[in-house]
Amino acid sequence: MDTLVTNATLLTMRGERLGIVDGDSPAQGAGEGGGALAVDDGRIEYVGPESEAPDPSDADELVDAAGGVVMPGLVNAHTHMAHTLLRGGAQDVPEIEWMNRALGPLSAHADVGDRVAGTRLGVLEAVRGGATTICEYAGEVGALVEAVYQPLGVDVVAVETINEVPDERDDLGPRELYPFDRDQGERALSRADRLFEQFGDDPLVTPAYGPQALDMVSPELLRTVQQHARERGAKLHLHTAQGEREAIQIEERYGEDESTVSVLDDLGIVDDSLVAVHCHGATPEERRQLADGGAAMLGCPSSIAGIDGVVPPVAEFREYGAPVGIGTDQAPGPGHHSMFREARTAATLSKVEHTDPTALTAPAALRLATVGGAAALGIDDEVGTLEAGTRADFIVVDTDRLSTAPAVESPLHTAVPNLVYSTTGREVRDVFVAGESILRDGAFVDADPEAVVAEATDRARALYDRASEDWRAAGSELVEAVDDGWL
């Protein structure tokens, strides 16, 4: 036995609840002692009451989780980590401006080194906050996996972005159709195909296909991508009904009576391989249609609230019985990659959206951030729960800090709501991926966060300098804010 964790309150996420194990009782009531988790060869060997755990003397390493909760590592189910380098550079603008006039003029000047530096910064932030699995959605994503994820030993769902739209489009009006370049799309599809050969032997890498959005790929290419995904048993991640800009493009290209969901349904794309991202632009009927068709849904509440002023329908999708996860998207806009913060945002905004304080409770939000995201990504047989045989991806979170105390076990476990509503992310003590320590006692085992921050800052300054003229010419409202002295 490699590692034995003792004195823990366990949130296993098994079944349809949180699977609380506290002391000698695997139910809600507290017992004497605590819960325990044993790891051998990268997998969970035992999880349950400490009184039935393997002999501590058989463990190479003991982890005392007293004063903490042990739970599955958080699953950040949708991100564009490279954009972390541009945190603070694209926010507080109208939705119609955000991509083409605010973010685009900056991101167009990023080179490979910038993308790696931004990804490394974002991944370290996410891991420091308890994430063990990250869904990375990027062009040439394989390079980011090799440069960042594999050296850090972090689980990654590697989604290759596939689109046919040139990067230079900030001069297009809202109703001017994006031009399609089929050769560009085919090259991206080839890169996606190669991921399966490139990382086929790495159990911590799950390749997937990422047609960027219906307004950015032709129907012919989308069908081809779906065929490739089916042949490999892979997921197809598609930004779906993600706002006014997309809705206008769909109307102009397919007709005023068409929507993203209606076109996807006509194309035969709505099935259990589809992972629909965002979905806030779909009607309730269309959202149910997606769920009934077998699609999973990923919501990014902080991002979509900040960029679109809209609440993603994560609570609604849960009611339909579809797999649902949450992610932090990209740092420009929402500003962060903390999954506990994202769980709080999801719960709080859902209550406001539904004018119901019982909408998306703390336990439900924790499930979205763990097993929900794993199920949506199609990897819940490996991660998202604590049970014998699954990968040993787990975290220890202190519940005796100023921000999370007091944590009591009777008559209810106050740690559960405190994890969602009170945790800042700094309370994460330990992070294990496949049984290996990534973070111990709040410090990275092999990474140097100070050096990562220094490199990201230097590169960001140089990038903003290169992009300054194009950014100003694009004329987003941020330019006016600078001229008026606000920024």
Q: 0.85 cut: is pTM over it?
A: yes
Nearest to 247 by CA among 295, 293, 286, 296: 286
Q: Which domains does the chain have, with CATH numbers?
A: 3-72+386-444 (2.30.40.10), 74-377 (3.20.20.140)
Q: Which two tokens stand for residue 257?
A: 């009576």
Q: In 3-state terms, what secondary structure has residue 415?
A: helix
Q: In 3-state terms, what secondary structure has residue 29?
A: coil
What was the pLDDT predicted at 170? 53
Q: In 3-state terms, what secondary structure has residue 362?
A: helix
DSSP 162-188: E--S-S--TT--TTSPPP--HHHHHHH
What was the pLDDT predicted at 309? 93
Pairing of strands 155-162, 205-211: parallel
Asked if residues 48 and 36 have their Cβ atoms less than 8 Å apart, the reply is yes
- Give exposure, 17-54, as e/b (b: 16+ Cβ within 10 Å): ebbbbbbbebeeebbeebbbbbbbebbbbbbbbbeebe
Asked if residues 380 and 8 have their Cβ atoms less than 8 Å apart, the reply is no
User: Cα–Cα distance between 10 and 188 in angstroms, integer?
Assistant: 42
User: Cα–Cα distance between 48 and 486 in angstroms, integer?
Assistant: 55
Per-position pLDDT tens, the chain of length 487: 899 999 999 999 998 899 999 864 444 333 344 899 999 999 999 999 999 999 998 999 999 999 899 999 999 999 999 999 999 999 999 988 998 899 999 999 999 999 999 999 999 999 999 999 999 999 999 999 999 999 999 999 999 999 998 866 556 666 778 889 999 999 999 999 999 999 999 999 999 999 999 999 999 999 999 999 999 999 999 999 987 888 998 999 999 899 999 999 999 999 999 999 999 999 999 999 999 999 999 999 999 999 999 999 999 999 998 999 999 999 998 899 999 999 999 999 999 999 999 999 999 999 999 999 999 999 999 999 999 999 999 999 999 999 999 989 889 899 999 999 999 889 999 999 999 999 999 999 999 999 999 999 999 999 999 999 999 999 999 999 999 999 9
Asked if residues 317 and 287 have their Cβ atoms less than 8 Å apart, the reply is yes
- Beta-carbon neighbour count of residue 375 at 10 Å? 21
What was the pLDDT predicted at 425? 81
User: Cα–Cα distance between 201 and 199 in angstroms, integer?
Assistant: 5
